[in-house]
Structure 1
């Protein structure tokens, strides 16, 4: 879902002045409280100071004022109690918030709403039991306090995080209708957003249709709901209906539609949306322009994406990340790195996604120096312990051939996930460190990480390249029998290669014929390679012919068959096969290697 706020560039000086002004008010109030110059009957100064403390997230000042409120005997003032509760909720101090709540002699609907709505942030950040919100709701009803729209909004947002939240959401929906709040656009938007996140599109649409006087926010949330669930056609149809009812749309409307064009590959439709954006004078909005850059990049029109980015009047971290990720997705590490440097020069702080994308593209081009530079940025901006950055560093260093640095990055991850283990095991396997790969895999199992088919493929590959026959059979059995993972053609190819390296061609042949799935090119190629090495041309030709029938359009198959005939001194057949392949061979990409030099990369044919 798109965040519902407009990003407006604010001059730094103005922003600092505002912070200084707010801080001065809090300091003045604190000073008055310290000298006890505040009248017991005049609580406006304290109330304002608490509001500012909550807004700024200043917990220390809030606690200081709280202490003076107790000292002055003003704990029974309802408005101050509500403001104190708000301070602790905003600062994510839920234990203290509950304590303040329990000590309040008198509570009103604002008190209950502050606590219930604040629980949502505690659930998201600290995994607090979300059902507490419904416990407080029950207690609120028992104290004869009638809920309002804000109460229901807070409870509905809790449902997203709860098991059984769908049932609770529907119960709340019934209560909303019963109490006559079903015509509220505010509650309608919350319901649509909730139903969209849990995939109940029909229920979301019923809510929209049930509100007679719909506002733009409600339309936007429903469009975002369609986009989130991949229903681009419905989103555009609803946009047309919205315009018929007199709503032109705002930045969030067009950003949602552009996101739909990006995810569904609707390039031409995206260009039409850009025309509408210009028509309604939103072409300078940073949210819309960032979505436009993303749309072009995901539709493989990186030149148009760059033009849109360069034309932006204002940029934020999202804008920079979008264009950098666009280049990273294309594997253009050089441009991604240049943009990252420019981003830092313009005083923008890159986030994890930005750095991970640059690392991925640098790894694809084996840009060792640039990888080290991005690693330095990650350390500078305190992302070095991030799992996503750590995983990206492992892959980047591995592709650059620096296994020591890859393992160092792996070791820096405090709680590596399955992807981290798989990346490091794969790095060892691809560089011939078979024993290290197996040792790390065993360590992963000891740490209680459940392996999947991908990590088993890396381990089997390590066993195959290292000639570790018994270990390979052991892990294949572990995968199929203990973890009940169905082996793919790639797994069988590793097993065939394992037998083939030891000259056990009959066993490899049995594996190939007993595969529960149709023999794929990778398994057949592994068998042909083993037969060539050990001189069994009969089995090699049998597998090559089967390979030709399986994948007749692969030029590598023609080359393989021609080489087989040449190895057997069957020159006429080799020439014939080569002639058949000639028309296809011109489409084959030439082999090349890369050499890193001081000022760039040389491609050597």
Structure 2
């Protein structure tokens, strides 16, 4: 009898020890995942599997969080296969991690497939699907998921509303932005800082700076992100005076600007030609707030100087920066050279740019146009020959228009739009009317 009791105690002890080891290994995998050390996380997982432990929902969700980058996407699909084998696909935590992995790797179809198979879907799962579709520019699907979510009786939270608003702003969908704004007010989410910040950004990207400012004014305690959102909105719309006033107001309220807010105010100065003001803020950033500029800040200052006539000063600044010139800096400088017809400095910067980005077609196209505009036909043909030899094609520009609740995108020589025949028929009718009004013989 005593031996039987001891065996039972040993069995319980073994189970407890097994659970403690699994918890410890899960913590290690999670720590490696959070610190972007995927190889170490998978090494621990492989050791766990070798010792006969399959892992649990926490193990798989941590591993899948690593696989949301393209480099480890195939590993993520292998983990998914193991999840199916061990019947963990119905777990909400694991399924949400799978949706997130597929969506961040731009595989919305597989993300939706996992989502549709979930027997129970909480607000986290819905938010993950909304965020995934939004990151891939599928604002129509985002709105449909939101409607389905409400229809199933799942109430959105502030993260849901913020994610949907980000998608609306990305697609410049003003009607959807207004609808979600109304929902936010109805659910009393407008007071959340994250929702208000998303509203400011969404209205700004939709071209409605008035509503963006109204959302800012209704906030009780705007934070750094709020001020930065409005500063960026003003910069986006070329309202340099308003941007600088908002920046100064932010500082006067005791809010310390960061590198993103400085980037916003520098962008505003570039768009409005505030050269001295831009130099002042750059000096304020480095000397007072001790923020080390990155390539985006340097690009703004080079663009600010070069675009507004100080090409030589921009060139000297480009040579003096403590980091190696990157493509965005060189591209901004070449654009300034083109604007002010300084072909020699453009040629000097282009050589470095071609070495950094040998396959980027827009760089060659810009230089070919600069050469052609100055009648340097041999140089222009040499650049175009390089383009042909590298077999690179120019990516067409894209425009879009919202009709009803759908955003239609167009590119040059587009032949895949589902209403292509109706579009060309309407265009032909309009051209005929224009020619008749201007007396052009058809």
Give the TM-score of the pair, scaled to structure 1. Answer: 0.60
Of the three residues 313, 337, 341, the one matched with 2:119 is 313
List aligned pairs for 1:561-580, cutoff 5 A: 561-580=367-386
Shift of 1:463: 1.1
| Structure 1: distance between partners of 2:96 and 2:345 | 58
C-alpha contact (below 8 Å) 1:227/1:257 kept by paired residues: no
| Structure 2: distance between partners of 1:470 and 1:379 | 42
Q: Are 1:430 and 2:236 matched, yes or no?
A: yes
Shift of 1:579: 2.1
Unaligned runs of 5+ in 2: 1-8, 34-39, 412-442
List aligned pairs for 1:189-588, cutoff 5 A: 214=16, 217-229=19-31, 230=33, 231-237=40-46, 239-240=48-49, 243=52, 253-265=56-68, 266-582=72-388, 584=390, 586-588=392-394
| Structure 2: distance between partners of 1:323 and 1:388 | 19
C-alpha contact (below 8 Å) 2:57/2:91 kept by paired residues: no
Shift of 1:225: 1.1
Partner of 1:177: none
| Structure 2: distance between partners of 1:351 and 1:495 | 40
C-alpha contact (below 8 Å) 2:176/2:405 kept by paired residues: no
| Structure 2: distance between partners of 1:449 and 1:329 | 30
Q: 1:603 to 1:291 in 2, by over 3 A?
A: closer
Partner of 2:402: 596
SS at match of 1:382: coil
C-alpha contact (below 8 Å) 1:236/1:257 kept by paired residues: no
Range 440-449 or range 368-377, more displaced: 368-377
C-alpha contact (below 8 Å) 1:334/1:362 kept by paired residues: no
Partner of 1:46: none
| Structure 1: distance between partners of 2:160 and 2:398 | 30
C-alpha contact (below 8 Å) 2:361/2:392 kept by paired residues: no
Shift of 1:257: 1.2
Partner of 2:417: none
Shift of 1:283: 4.3
Partner of 1:99: none
| Structure 2: distance between partners of 1:240 and 1:469 | 61
SS at match of 2:100: helix
SS at match of 1:449: coil
Q: 1:382 to 1:543 in 2, by over 3 A?
A: same
Between 1 and 2, higher relative CO (CA 8 Å, sep ≥ 6) is seen in 2
SS at match of 1:214: helix
C-alpha contact (below 8 Å) 1:259/1:295 kept by paired residues: no
C-alpha contact (below 8 Å) 1:255/1:291 kept by paired residues: no
SS at match of 2:309: coil
Query: How many aligned residue pairs are there?
Result: 390
| Structure 1: distance between partners of 2:402 and 2:217 | 27
SS at match of 2:16: coil
Shift of 1:416: 2.4
Q: 1:256 to 1:598 in 2, by over 3 A?
A: same
| Structure 2: distance between partners of 1:303 and 1:331 | 14
| Structure 2: distance between partners of 1:272 and 1:507 | 54
Q: 1:284 to 1:513 in 2, by over 3 A?
A: closer
Question: What is the Cα-based RMSD across aligned positions, in Å?
Answer: 2.6
| Structure 2: distance between partners of 1:544 and 1:289 | 48
SS at match of 1:601: strand
| Structure 1: distance between partners of 2:236 and 2:264 | 8
Shift of 1:260: 1.4
| Structure 2: distance between partners of 1:276 and 1:525 | 47
Range 477-486 or range 541-550, more displaced: 541-550
Shift of 1:441: 0.4
Shift of 1:530: 2.4
Q: 1:390 to 1:506 in 2, by over 3 A?
A: same
SS at match of 2:256: coil
List aligned pairs for 1:49-198, cutoff 5 A: none
Higher Rg: 1
C-alpha contact (below 8 Å) 2:175/2:405 kept by paired residues: no
Per-residue CA shift, 1:344-394, capped at 9, x if unaligned?
011110112222222222211111111111222222222111122122222
C-alpha contact (below 8 Å) 2:64/2:79 kept by paired residues: no
